[in-house]
């Protein structure tokens, strides 16, 4: 009981501190904080897929881009109000993910990784070459800012509170999913698929559900991203963001939501210092991935000492 109370007090204190960021921090710091909050969504989503099915996906950047392009095209070409495009952006991302990856989740190991790379390339090729719809290499410009209460969220400070609210809601929903009966089925699936199937867990459907959850969180993140940067291009959603999301998820611990949030904050902040490396950033991400697998196989929060060693680390979500 005391441990739970301390945990919630810590989360409350962190939330209060985050709420004060726009007033206390320089605009550049707020700008980076917005990207951290936005990236938290696809990273948590990737945790559903990798943490509970053991499938390593390199297509999360494509799903992130799907959500971004859906809202961008609905607002710029059809004149939709930005908030009205949130649900369609998430739903279309889920439908696309299930349509392209529904059969691939039955694959294992490197076969699934290769399938997700194929999905990533398919989405990128469509975005780059379907010029009549996506504007191809010209990208989509003049994406309108989200409006709330008569105010346009067109500055980092104004946008921050929406991104923070979305991140908090996403965290709460993810915790509820993990603690639900569905979460129990997914945990059983990740521990032992044969045993899970013997107790009436439909393995195929559970894997597709994990994929759909992963896509939903990615689509929501893409929606926020498009209305924050207000210009998107196919190259923004290539393999690099997929690798970055994978590194963030892995460093946090695929089944630790809090860990993935911390890893996203640390690595996205560090990424700003990698910009001088240019195209060599992918090599740096690869090295980080290897180092994380070697030294933090259960996530970065394993560095934090726990009060009780009785409960196994992999059971913490």
Is residue 5 one of the residues assigned to a domain? Answer: no
- Structural domain harbouring 220: 27-301
Query: How confident is the model at residue 193, as a pLDDT?
Result: 54
Section 125-143 average pLDDT:
94
User: CA 280 to CA 290: how far, in whole Å?
Assistant: 16
Query: How confident is the model at residue 301, as a pLDDT?
Result: 61
Report angle CA 160, 213, 265 to the nearest 5 degrees: 35
- Cα Dmax for the chain: 59
Which residues are CB-contacts of 63 (< 8 A; sequence separation ≥ 6)? 42, 45, 93, 96, 97, 123, 214, 215, 218, 219, 222
Query: How confident is the model at residue 159, as a pLDDT?
Result: 95
Long-range contacts of 278-283 (CB under 8 A, 24+ apart): 281/240, 282/239, 282/240, 282/243
Is residue 114 one of the residues assigned to a domain? Answer: yes
CATH of the domain at 31: 1.10.3470
Is residue 286 one of the residues assigned to a domain? Answer: yes
State the chain's mean pLDDT as an integer: 82
Question: The whole model's pTM is what?
Answer: 0.85
Q: Which is nearest to 162 in space by CA: 89, 88, 75, 82?
A: 82
pLDDT of 9 higher than 90: no
Position with higher pLDDT, 171 vs 190: 171
Q: DSSP string covering 109-131, please? A: THHHHHHHHHHHHHHHHHHHH-H
Is residue 70 one of the residues assigned to a domain? Answer: yes
160-169 pLDDT, tens digit each = 999 999 999 9
Is residue 37 one of the residues assigned to a domain? Answer: yes
Q: How many structural domains comprise the chain? A: 1
Position with higher pLDDT, 204 vs 96: 96
* Residue 140 structure tokens: 């989509």
Section 300-307 average pLDDT:
57
Is residue 313 one of the residues assigned to a domain? Answer: no
Section 101-115 average pLDDT:
82
Query: Using 50, 70 and 90 to split pLDDT, how confident is the model at 92?
Result: very high
User: CA 15 to CA 12: how far, in whole Å?
Assistant: 5
Is residue 11 one of the residues assigned to a domain? Answer: no
The region of weakest confidence among 50-54, 74-78, 176-180, 220-224 is 50-54
CA-CA-CA-CA torsion sign (91, 113, 126, 272): positive
Query: Using 50, 70 and 90 to split pLDDT, how confident is the model at 199?
Result: very low
Is residue 103 one of the residues assigned to a domain? Answer: yes
User: CA 65 to CA 46: how far, in whole Å?
Assistant: 14
- DSSP letter at 228 equals H
């Amino acid at each position: 009981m005391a441990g739970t109370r301390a945990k919630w007090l810590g989360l409350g204190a962190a939330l209060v501190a985050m709420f004060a960021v726009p007033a206390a921090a320089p605009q550049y710091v707020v700008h980076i904080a917005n990207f951290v909050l936005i990236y938290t969504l696809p990273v948590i989503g990737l945790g559903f897929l990798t943490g509970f099915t053991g499938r390593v996906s390199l297509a999360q950047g494509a799903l992130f881009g799907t959500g971004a392009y859906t809202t961008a095209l609905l607002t710029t070409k059809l004149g939709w109000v930005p908030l009205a495009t949130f649900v369609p952006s998430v739903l279309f991302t889920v439908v696309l993910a299930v349509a392209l990856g529904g059969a691939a989740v039955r694959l294992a190991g490197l076969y699934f990784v290769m399938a997700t790379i194929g999905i990533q390339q398919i989405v990128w090729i469509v975005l780059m070459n379907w010029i009549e719809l996506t504007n191809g290499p010209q990208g989509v410009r003049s994406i309108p800012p989200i409006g709330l209460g008569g105010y346009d969220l067109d500055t980092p400070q104004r946008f921050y509170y929406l991104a923070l609210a979305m991140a908090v809601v996403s965290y709460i929903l993810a915790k509820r999913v993990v603690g639900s009966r569905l979460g129990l089925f997914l945990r059983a699936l990740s521990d032992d698929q044969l045993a899970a199937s013997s107790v009436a867990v439909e393995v195929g459907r559970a894997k597709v559900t994990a994929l759909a959850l992963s896509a939903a969180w990615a689509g929501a993140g893409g929606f926020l991203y498009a209305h924050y940067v207000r210009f998107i291009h196919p190259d923004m959603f290539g393999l690099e963001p997929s690798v970055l999301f994978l590194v963030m998820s892995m460093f946090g611990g695929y089944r630790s939501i809090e860990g993935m949030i911390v890893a996203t904050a640390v690595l996205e902040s560090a990424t700003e210092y990698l910009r001088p490396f240019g195209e060599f950033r992918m090599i740096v991400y690869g090295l980080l991935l290897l180092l994380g697998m070697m030294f933090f196989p259960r996530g970065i929060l394993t560095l934090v000492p726990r009060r009780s060693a009785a409960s196994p680390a992999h059971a913490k979500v």
